[in-house]
Structure 1
């Protein structure tokens, strides 16, 4: 009896696949026939595809699957049931296609998310009365990979922000995008779910709006160039002023009706040049010299790419920088204390010079040190201090720097006059140096601590004259701040014991003192060469560390690794 039942079951299965085969061969069955594609056949094919992936680079229809680890977990959690179809009927695929197309507005490349192959497969499936299960399985995996990869990129960026390598990844602490997908499918909110993964900062939305505006302007051609020549300034008459007017009007720095105002460099042109210079971080003198001319002649397509690169940088940020936090924009040489999206305290900063680049990171400020001592980093001691001592034997005494061996209880001070410095080299230096607290100390009178692997901090400086420079990249990586006392007042304002007078008194005492910050806050070191300020003005800055070029290259390359589990 059991044998007869098995034979009947096998016969039914064979008949089913025969019918499907005939359908796919063009058999003229009615479209509304009761015969349907079984999800069980599709899920077996999905499982087979995923099982075959192994450790090699995975691909479907020639398209590399970047979220293989997350996709495997996603499908395993739903017992390999197809996510984007039911009994051969597609569900929400068109919605995802629209969302992928909209990623262009975020400065992303829709083709990175299988847009072409997905559209082709969708067209093929919709033309078939009874879609091929293999085609359905391939399409399902591509749709899932598109959502997960795009979701990871929107919520955390495409490129590793530490290495600036083509290494697509999911940041630690970010949402589980595969879980987001599961909920989005259930609620039929694919586009809404992806929209919620975008950065929450208003600064991101503002930059996105300017990206659309600049792309629209680019569709009408490049903006005018200004010919090279002598400096242009108010009162001058030149055919190049005609070019200048057109160029300034193209970027909105000059009223459109002034674009045809003639060859006289008048007061309105000067005012427009000042506006342009200020929003490009240039010396604002109203004169078109070499630096201003160079900025004017940056092609529109390069400015568009600059906006796209900085939208990527905003996607890297952990947490909301528009809540209570300290934000240092390295490329702008500026620090802002932010509350509710507004700057409540702003100051100039000095950042690392070339080859001593100030890094991008986020850390929590927990401590303030009054009258800090400075333990000279070993790299500075070997590369700079030794040379200075040999040129000027009195350097250590004049700068109040001690020569030491050992640390803690084993620390021992060495008389510098007892050392034959002519025999000391960068390789053989057996000592370390510490500059004692005082007005000469390189860290000034206040040091702000936020533990981080880069050993970077904010500090005062005796070299106040550097804040008058327009380009302020002079340090060894740490950041010197223009208004240390004001920042100290802010971070200690929740402790009534630390008034401005109390701080000044402690500084005057000259002894080192550590003070816990009552309400720690995040410090974000950013590197933004394009952003929109609080007034709605698009700002550009020079790429002092050549990071834009590296990021552009990384975004243009195929990633070397799949997206790992966050």
Structure 2
């Protein structure tokens, strides 16, 4: 970082070299341009520049823009500050509505400098070219940094989540600034940089609503006590009513007895439970009360975190695609922004997390073998074998020693499993197709470095649980046959009946898709459904907390 005092010294020496006659011959814009050039050249392109106590963050994009522009000022002309500077200030004040912080973009400094510039213009004081140069650099830096955060996110997820692969968009932010200088409205150009998906727009509307609720004081917490259900009568019931009315789960129609828990209130509780991923029982139990008592400010913060996650998404999700929400335990197939198939899923346990990434489903396997990963073999299956040596035979496993054509089939009864440990486990396990197979009847493949895929499961009863983190990282799907039928899209060759018939033969069969489909495995703890319902979920993997901590750290330019 180059100290501001050092920069000022270099500028002073440079200015002394200018003859008074040459300076007078220059227009205001030319003098501002000269100050901008000197300031940037004195600081160097790789160091952070300090302008009046404000750090410049776009340390590469800022010099790049001004070099391309011939160091001409972007925000002032020969008569002083241009109107677009004030338009940018208004756009920056709206950063909170995007889940960002306006103070990260020199807001106070810019507001003060622009007030001073306007005052000087109104009083017809001669403009100060050096001040205008400093203001121009700060305005451009604010634009570039804010633009980078809107387009790409404020945080690179791969720096805080090792199992999160982002496919962030390629955006030319310098060109965006050039559009503003050419006459486009700064606010409009910035809005165009946000994700185009309707889900982002709906989430932004939800943030605005919860910010208003927080500004109005939020809601009063419900006092602890026994569960409340139909027939309960107490002041806590009245508090429950007020809380559900605040978020629209309960209409504000008048009731004769606000202390009485009636059927209408039970319906409102069920609605709240459904959109918070709780057991839907219509009773205000401890888990429901805990979710009800999360403050409005915290809910707004949670929405902001998920807006940030949307900024990490690819620009194009595909005209048709599969999206899995890990925290929501669900899968949707989307065509032209309409959900055409939806189902519940199971995801990885917290110690075997399902990773976040995008890929392409290219084929499926009917009646698959399960080739057991080594870590699962030694951590999960070996303890079961030790408890019951017949486990492998009962569950349809074949034991191999070695690899390839020289692999030898081993009779599990010939092995003294009491002497086998995780450190000396020389075997490979393969489970045969059939009703006991852990992958179920079909798996959907998109080869990736995580060895993660979608598959069926014999443990169908677990889909009834509200939280379904039961897998070892792969995604278990509730409706595998329906998904296979959709992806194969051939009612003659691959009708539902023919798919089931092929599975029933219990012979592994690979079928390539005529139309491979993008898949996006994501992690959203808040989303807004197409009908406008705002859904919140528990932070299953603690990723909200890590992201919040990263966002709380100092600002950075996301485009570098």
Deviation at 1:232, TM superposition (A): 0.9
Q: In the alignment, which residue of structure 2 is the partner of 1:107? A: 99
Match of 2:65 among 69, 74, 99: 74
Distance 2:58 2:326 in 1: 33
Residue 426 of structure 1: how far off its partner (Å): 1.5
1:495 deviates by 7.5
Deviates more, 1:246-255 or 1:59-68: 59-68
Equivalent of residue 15 in structure 1, options 20, 29, 35: 20
The reply to whether residue 324 of structure 1 matches residue 316 of structure 2 is no
- Which residue is 1:380 aligned to? 376
Q: Deviations over 1:19-56 (max 9, x none)?
A: 6xxxxxxxxxxxxxx97325265245335425524544
3-state SS, counterpart of residue 488 of structure 1 = helix
- Whole-Å separation in 2 of the counterparts to 1:294 and 1:48: 55
Q: 1:483: which partner in 2?
A: 479
Q: What is the match of residue 8 of structure 2?
A: none
User: Structure 2 CA distance, aligned partners of 1:388 and 1:285?
Assistant: 36
Alpha-carbon distance between aligned partners in 1 of 2:308 and 2:363, rounded to the nearest angstrom: 31
Q: Is the 8 A contact 1:46 1:82 kept in 2?
A: no
Q: Secondary structure at the match of 2:231?
A: coil
Q: Does residue 59 in structure 1 map to residue 59 in structure 2?
A: no
What's the counterpart of residue 309 of structure 1?
305
Per-residue CA deviation, residues 475-512 of structure 1 (Å, 9 max, x unaligned), is 11111001000000011115752221221121112111
The residue that corresponds to 2:33 in the other structure is: 42
Q: Which runs of 5+ in 2 are unaligned?
A: 1-14
2:86 counterpart (94, 106, 111): 94
What do residues 450-479 of structure 1 show as CA deviations (whole Å, max 9, x unaligned)?
132322111000111111111111111111
1:512 pairs, out of 505, 508, 514, with 508
Partner residue, 2:453: 457
CA contact (8 A) 1:39 1:88 kept: no
Single out whichever of 399-408 and 533-542 deviates more from structure 2: 399-408
Equivalent residue in structure 1 for 2:193, among 184, 194, 197: 197
2:370 touches 2:430 (CA, 8 Å); kept in 1? yes
- The correspondence for 2:498, drawn from 489, 494, 502, is 502
SS state of the match for residue 135, structure 2? helix
SS at match of 1:233: coil
Q: How does 1:269-284 map to 2 (within 5 A)?
A: 269-284=265-280
Give the Å deviation of 1:172: 4.8
Report if aligned partners of 1:246, 1:260 keep a CA contact under 8 Å in 2.
Answer: no
Displacement after TM superposition at 1:410 (Å): 4.4
Distance apart, 1:112 and its partner CA:
0.9
Matched residue SS, 2:308: helix
- In structure 1, the residue matched to 2:533 is 537
> After superposition, what is the alpha-carbon deviation per residue over 1:392-446, rounded to whole angstroms, capped at 9, x for unaligned?
1112222222223444344333333333323322222233322222221111111
Task: Tell me the SS of whatever aligns to 2:365.
Answer: strand
Q: For residues 234 and 399 of structure 2, what CA distance do their matches in structure 1 show? A: 63
State the distance in 2 between where 1:262 and 1:136 align: 62
- Say what the alpha-carbon RMSD is for the aligned residues: 2.7
Deviation at 1:108, TM superposition (A): 0.8
Q: Which residue of 1 aligns with 2:211?
A: 215
Match of 2:365 among 359, 362, 369: 369
2:431 matched to 1:435? Answer: yes
**Alignment partner, residue 27 of structure 1:** none
Q: Deviations over 1:112-155 (max 9, x none)?
A: 11112222233344444443333233222222221222112112
Cα offset, 1:320, TM superposition: 4.3
Work out whether residues 23 and 31 of structure 2, in 8 Å CA contact, stay in contact via their aligned partners in 1.
no
**Does structure 1 residue 402 correspond to structure 2 residue 394?**
no
Is contact 2:166-2:357 (8 Å) kept?
A: no
Provide the C-alpha distance between the structure 2 equivalents of 1:53 and 1:486, rounded to a whole number of angstroms.
Answer: 60
Tell me the residue number matched to 1:226: 222
Output the TM-score relative to the length of structure 1: 0.89
Q: Name 1:248's counterpart in structure 2.
A: 244
In structure 1, what is the Cα distance between the partners aligned to 2:524 and 2:490? 31
Question: Which of 148, 151, 157 matches 1:152?
Answer: 148
Residues 512 and 60 of structure 1: is their aligned pair in 2 closer, same or farther, counting only changes over 3 Å?
Answer: farther
Match of 2:387 among 379, 386, 391: 391
